[in-house]
Chain A
Amino acid sequence: MTTKKGIIIGGIAIIVAAFAYLLYGGLDKNIVYFLTPHELLAKGTKAVDVPVRLGGQVKPGSVKWNDTTLALHFIVTDGTSEIAVDSKGAPPQMFRDGMGVVVEGRYGANGTFNCTSLMVKHSNEYRPPKPGESVQEMQKTLIKGASS
């Protein structure tokens, strides 16, 4: 009876250990670090070609979007360092200079960051826009155009 119990406990221990190992291995390979440009550059070659989430602000004046080829270039900065980002696809509509972004992708050996997904950083608690940030003015032309 006790040996049978021992076998059962041993079996469970092996299953749990194997599962824990699988989990650990899975985590180890699939963790994506969240880095600022400064932290990424400080890592040197270790940061090249591994999945990373790069967070920072869009450098004012750096956004270039070609709406025919959909190629999007901009620079992410954290104040001290900056990294050029290559992306494909339309930027979020309110993609403005100086706004917070998180870009997911890989940093290339050529010094540009290849972005696979681009997120605008929302503050968790949303707030009403400050004066001058209002979106109302932006679409006025379109609404007039449609109603006329």
Chain B
Amino acid sequence: MQSVNGLVGHGALLLALPFIALGIIAVPVAVNRGRRDWLEIGYGAVYANFALMSAAALAMISALVTHDFSVSYVAQVGSRETPLFYTIISLWGALEGSILFWAWVLSFYGMTVVALNKSRAGNLVPYAAMTLLCISLFFSILLVGPANPFHVVSPVPQNGPGPNPLLQNHILMAVHPPLLYLGYVGMSVPFAFAVGAVLSGEAENNDWIKVSRTWTMASWGFLSAAIIAGMWWSYEVLGWGGYWAWDPVENASFLPWLTATAFLHSAMVQERRGMLRVWNLNLVVGTFVLTILGTFLTRSGIISSVHAFTTGTIGYYFLAFITIVLVTGGVIVAGSSDKLRSKGKLDSAASRETVFLLNNLFLTAFMLTVLVGTLFPLVAEAMRGVKVSVGGPFFNRMSLPIIAALLFLMGVGPALPWKVASKAELRSKLIPPTAGALVLAAAALIAGIHDPYGILVFAFVGYAATANFREFSIGAAVRRRAHGESWPTAFLRLVEGNRRRYGGYIAHFGVFFVALGIAMSSTLRTEREATLQRGMTMQIAGRTLRLQDIWGREEPQRQVVGATLEIMNGNRVTGTLEPRMNFYRTQQEPVPTPDVRSGVLGDLYLNLMAFRPDGSNATIRAIYQPLVPWIWFGGGVVVFGAIVAGWPTARRRRVPAVVPVPAPPKPPAREPEYAA
């Protein structure tokens, strides 16, 4: 017997399929036969898809909240003991729910794209909407097929196991997955516009690039935030004191970020100079493929890692879809590359476009490195039958030179003009930042960094930060002289006048903070482990820790064992930390819950490793890592920069509501295209 939740949810998913199919057929009919009414049908399908996906998602949330265990997904991840908050967010806690969430977000983006752009002339938007519906079709097939979350469970269980303990142990699980999906799914939109541009024969003008850049900017902002939130989650929950392990699932989120970053830079070259047009098409297609590949890696369970907690037959569907997308992408890139010959040419090696070219080269090399390292174990297992892993040393060794080069370019690019820079310009722009490089290199040495790459990262951050800062200070100084504005006003007006450019520089500053945080915390980490009885102390990084208590506590869904430690400076207690271990009823291994005291200069990180069941002693691991909070702060700055650069400009022509708007009989721009 199907419950109301199951009936509504499953019904909505089934109903979505014919609507999506109808929309996909309607667009080419509308364009080829000049039938405006069919276009309305196509757009109507986009709206219907959103309505039906919303119904399905809300039915699932309702089923979760009401503990409707007749719904298979609820029986899989729900439990009566789980707090309401974690019950709701378990919507994306396992395979089927996350696919449903993905399809929901995609349908929302589809609706937004149509609502914002349907008045545009030409066939770009109809074809983009059709492409988005094709992607929706894939996810809808998954949802009625291998990833159906609405199977009927009979007999209805009284209770369920609850979400994976790792996922209900920290609040960041409410933040990281939705951000990741908003970023991942958002990359479908630029792809849809790229396909739309080629299908409609409008790839030659820059319209699609502008729309794609805005959407990439927004998705990139979400993805950046998601990656940082994921690092933070890993740091706060997994208990090893690190934030990045080159785990395949981390890599999966990082790969499209790299190509999207490349695109955000190279799109400027296309808009300004008409160059790199085929390359940009490649980047947009590549970014989308990487998001699907990432979902495949994460969700098919093909690579086992802490994140990949699901297995199933869904992998074959993804492989088929990736193949289709790659073929489609290859066809549209190959088919349009003749038309998209570069309009401009490189005037000089000393120009901003050269730096953007190098930036794209390094970002692509970075992406390929991570991709090869991530996929190599799979290939080795498939081809040679050996199980291998590609460790952190490979990724670190390969990526550090690339990261250093990129940081340096971040200082050179903003300083150089488009087209050609004169010798005098080069001198006046590139030499002053050297002082910044020397200052930070000295700071690194004083702080005690001996690792050559650590020092190099500091030096290049110093260089690039000075160069980026000078863009603000020089610009604001010019405004002050010209308009007599105060420093803050001049600064704000400067940013307002070219938000995209200065938003980009702000994002650069975020990257600098992240780079310093990673360089410091990875080179100057200290770690101690000791078994303490009550009242005993241990030393870490000039601090004394005293074990005050070992305690246990009963909670509805888990048992908690914790240790209370006092941080002492001399005889004065400056704070307490309570690392814990959570024993969920549904899993044998406990989930560590480290406790962290963050300061501007660094983190003291305590983890409870072991304890005697009689409470007589506890083994504590203490880690001190400098500048870790700078990584989270830098992530925030990156996102702020993306918001400044990508926030849509207010519409210029705003018609007051009281004035009756004379409706134009028919927009003349629309007619010829449908006649064609």
Q: Could you tell me which A residues sit within 8 Å of B by CB distance?
A: 15, 19, 22-23, 26-27, 29-34, 51, 53, 67-68, 70, 88-94, 120, 122, 124-126, 128-129, 133-136, 138-139, 141-143, 145-146
Contact = CB atoms under 8 A, between A and B. Distances in A.
Interface of B: 161, 164-165, 301, 304, 306, 308-311, 361, 365, 368-369, 372-373, 376, 380, 386-391, 393-394, 397-398, 529-531, 550-554, 559, 561, 581, 583, 585-590, 609-615, 617, 619, 621
Nearest to B586: A128
B610 A67 contact: yes
A91 B301 CA distance: 27
B612 to A, nearest CB: 8
A57 B553 CA distance: 32
The 7 A-B pairs at the shortest CB distance, nearest first, are namely A90-B609, A30-B394, A143-B552, A34-B387, A142-B552, A90-B610, A146-B551
Contact of B589 (A32, A53, A122, A142): A122
Given A93-B581, A93-B589, A93-B611, 6 more contacts: A19-B368, A26-B397, A31-B391, A89-B621, A146-B552, A146-B553
A132 B589 CA distance: 14
A23 B369 contact: yes
A15 B391 CA distance: 25
Given A27-B372, A126-B164, A135 B311 contact: no
A19 B369 CA distance: 9
Contact of B613 (A23, A34, A134, A142): A142
Given A94-B590, A125-B311, A32 B388 contact: yes
B554 to A, nearest CB: 6
A31 B395 CA distance: 11
A142 B551 contact: yes
Given A26-B398, A68-B531, A124-B301, A90 B619 contact: yes
A124 B530 CA distance: 31
Contact of A145 (B165, B391, B552): B552
Nearest to B166: A126
B589 A124 contact: no
Nearest to A96: B588
A143 B559 CA distance: 9
5 contacts: A26-B394, A88-B529, A90-B609, A128-B161, A134-B585
B522 to A, nearest CB: 16
A120 B552 contact: no
Contacts of A68: 531
B621 A90 contact: yes
Contacts of B561: 139, 142
A20 to B, nearest CB: 9
A139 B583 contact: yes
B73 to A, nearest CB: 14
Given A142-B550, A142-B551, A124 B391 contact: no
Contacts of B588: 94, 129, 133, 135
A126 B587 contact: yes
Centre residue among B164, B310, B530, B619 by max chain A CB count within 10 A: B619
A129 B477 CA distance: 68
Contacts of B390: 27, 30-32
Contacts of B311: 124-125
Nearest to B553: A143
B531 A70 contact: yes
Nearest to A119: B306
Nearest to A19: B365
Contacts of A91: 610
A70 B527 CA distance: 14
Contact of A31 (B304, B365, B388): B388
A129 B587 contact: yes
Contacts of B361: 15
A67 B616 CA distance: 12
B363 to A, nearest CB: 13
A22 B388 contact: no
Contacts of A53: 389
B74 to A, nearest CB: 16
A120 B592 CA distance: 13
A42 to B, nearest CB: 13
Nearest to A31: B388
A8 to B, nearest CB: 11
Contacts of B309: 124-126
A102 to B, nearest CB: 10
B388 A34 contact: yes
A18 B472 CA distance: 38
A93 B586 CA distance: 16
A27 B394 contact: yes
A120 B587 CA distance: 13
B304 A124 contact: yes
Nearest to B398: A26
Contacts of B611: 93, 142
B389 A139 contact: no
Contacts of A141: 613-615
Nearest to B396: A30
A135 B614 contact: no
Contacts of A143: 552-554, 559
A68 to B, nearest CB: 6
Contacts of B389: 31-32, 34, 53
A31 B386 CA distance: 11
Nearest to B304: A124
Nearest to B386: A33
A94 B589 CA distance: 6
Contacts of A90: 529, 531, 609-610, 619, 621
A63 to B, nearest CB: 12
B559 A139 contact: yes
A90 B387 CA distance: 28
A126 B306 CA distance: 11
Contacts of A31: 376, 380, 388-391, 394
A2 to B, nearest CB: 16
A57 to B, nearest CB: 15
A94 B611 CA distance: 11
A89 B609 contact: yes
A103 B287 CA distance: 36
